[in-house]
Structure 1
Amino acid sequence: MTTKTTHPQHRRRSRPKLDTYLTIGEAADMLGVTQRYFREQVNTGRVPAYRIGPRTTRVKLSDVEAMLEPVEAALAI
């Protein structure tokens, strides 16, 4: 019985991890805001967006998370 060994050149190379992208609707749902409000944030440049084709826009999850700002305890009431 022979065991199969992998030649070093044939090993799988690890691929760089891609960012997670969301649709406008997914991002709006995640933040609990309307799609219209979120699109305004994209249109004003507050959130970078990426076009994939003529009708498809995506935003990075990390950019959506960056929109969240901590609120001081006194202001949260």
Structure 2
Amino acid sequence: MPANKAQRRLSSITDAAVEYGVHHSTIRRYISAGRITGYRFGPRMLRVDLDELDALLRPLATAKRGA
């Protein structure tokens, strides 16, 4: 593998759901909607890239104190 190629952090759908505190159906829905990429290995094994899930995280706006 070339040194400049980014390493993927692949995880099962179940493990990714546990990691992010969502239901596994949510991960499958994101794949179906095209929000993240699903990677298939063989006829049944499906993996997702945790970096793609990280990219979906957005910080919440907070109220400024003393304004």
TM-score range, shorter chain: 0.7 to 0.9
Give the whole-Å Cα distance in 2 for the aligned partners of 1:15 and 1:44.
Answer: 31
Higher relative contact order (CA 8 A, sep 6+): 2
Between the two proteins, what is the percent identity of the paired residues? Answer: 33
Mapped pair 1:24 → 2:10 = no
Count of matched residue positions in the alignment of Structure 1 and Structure 2: 61
- The structure whose residues are more often strand, as a share, is 2
- Map of 1:1-77 to 2, 5 A cutoff? 16=3, 18-74=7-63
Bigger CA radius of gyration = 1
- Shift, 1:18, TM fit: 3.0
Give the whole-Å Cα distance in 2 for the aligned partners of 1:38 and 1:73.
Answer: 27
SS of the residue aligned with 1:70?
coil
Give the whole-Å Cα distance in 2 for the aligned partners of 1:68 and 1:30.
Answer: 13
**Superposition RMSD on alpha carbons, in Å?**
1.8
SS of the residue aligned with 1:57?
strand
Residue in 2 that maps onto 1:7? none
Structure 2 unaligned residues grouped into runs of 5+: none
